[in-house]
Amino acid sequence: MSRQCTLAEEVCMEGVGVHTGKHARVTVKPADAGTGIVFHAGGQRIPALAEYVVSTDRCTALGMDGVRVMTVEHLLSALAGTGVDNAHIEVEGEEIPVLDGSALPWVERFQQAGLCEQAVERRCVALTRPVSVMAGDRGIWAMPHPERLLISTVHYDHPLVGTQVAWFNLDKINYQEEIAPARTFGFWEEVEALLARGKALGGSLDNALVIFPDHYSVPPRFPDEVLRHKVLDFIGDMVLVGAQVRALFVAVKPSHTLNTAFALALRQAIQGEST
Ligand SMILES: [Zn+2]
C-alpha cells in the first residue's frame, strides 16, 4: 500500500489551448488527503470524475452549469504519472494550455515543486469482474489482475504509423521517460479539416507532431510516439475513475469518447468495492 500525495507547493503555467487558440492561466495547488483532483473555473467547482465529462470531441472537457474546462487530459495524465492524488486546479480561461503537446512540461514543474506524502492510504481497488466498452472496431477491456497492466494498440492506414502495439506495467513504468514526452499528433489532411471546422486553432508545429504523407513535421521522440501519446491520454482519462484500479487493461484504438465511457463504467463497477 502507498500513501496519497499532493504537491509540496503550487505550480502555475500559462499558454494557449490547442483547440480554442485562447490563452489560459492554470494554478495547481496542494489539497488535503481525500480531495482528489478538483478544477475551479468560472465560479464552479468541477471534480475530475467521469460524470462531469461534457464533451469528448478531440479532447476531454469537464463542466458544470455552463462552465467548461477543455483539454484536461494531459494535465491529469501528468498528475497521475507523477503520483499526485490530490490537487485544486484553478483555471482562468476555458482550455488547459497545450504547452509542447506532451505532458513533460507539467511533470518537470511538479517534480521541481516536490511531492508531499499524506497520512491516508491511496485508494487502489481490485476489480472483481470484467468491464468493457466497445464501439465498432474500437474497445477497452479490464480484467481482474493483481497488477495494473496496460496493453494498447493503435492502427492508422498510413505508412509511417501503421499498427503499433505495446504493453506497460502502470505500477512500475517510468512515466517521465516513457510516456510524458509523447506529443499530440495529427495527420496533415485532418489538421486542414480541423482548421476549417474552427478546431485546432492553437495548433502549431511547436505543439504537435504533424504527420505528412511521407514525413513528420519534426523528428519523433519515439518510433511509436503515436501509440505512447494514446497511452498518455488513456492514463489522463483514467483519473476520472476516481481511484486506481488493479486490472489488466486492453485498449484497442482508444479515443477520448471511449476512454471516458470506460472510466464511467469502471467507476460504477467499483462502487462499494473495498480497497
Ligand atoms: Zn492527447
Query: What are the tens digits of pLDDT across the range 126-146?
Result: 999 999 999 999 999 999 999
CATH assignment of the domain containing 69: 3.30.230.20
Q: How far, in Å, CA of 144 to CA of 205, rounded? A: 41
Q: pLDDT digit string (tens) for 67-117? A: 999 999 999 999 999 999 999 999 999 999 999 999 999 999 999 999 999
Report residues near ion ligand 1: CB below 5 Å: 184, 233
Q: Is 229 a catalytic residue?
A: no
In a domain, 46, yes or no: yes
Residue 51 lies in a domain: yes
Residue 8, in any domain of the structure: yes
Domain count across the chain: 1
Set of cell numbers at residue 180 = 510524458
Cα 131 to averaged position of ligand 1 atoms, centre (Å): 24
Q: Is residue 246 part of a domain?
A: no
Residue 58 lies in a domain: yes
Please report whether residue 36 resides in a domain: yes
How far, in Å, CA of 203 to CA of 266, rounded? 32
Rounded to two decimals, the pTM is 0.96
- d(C-alpha 38, C-alpha 176), whole Å: 23
Compute the distance from residue 272 Cα to the ligand 1 centre, in Å. Answer: 31
156 belongs to a structural domain: no
Take residue 166 and report the three cell numbers written for it.
505495446
Which DSSP string corresponds to 137-174? TEEEEEEE-SS-EEEEEEEESSTTTEEEEEEEETTT--
Is residue 40 a part of any domain in this protein?
yes
Host domain of residue 69: 3-123
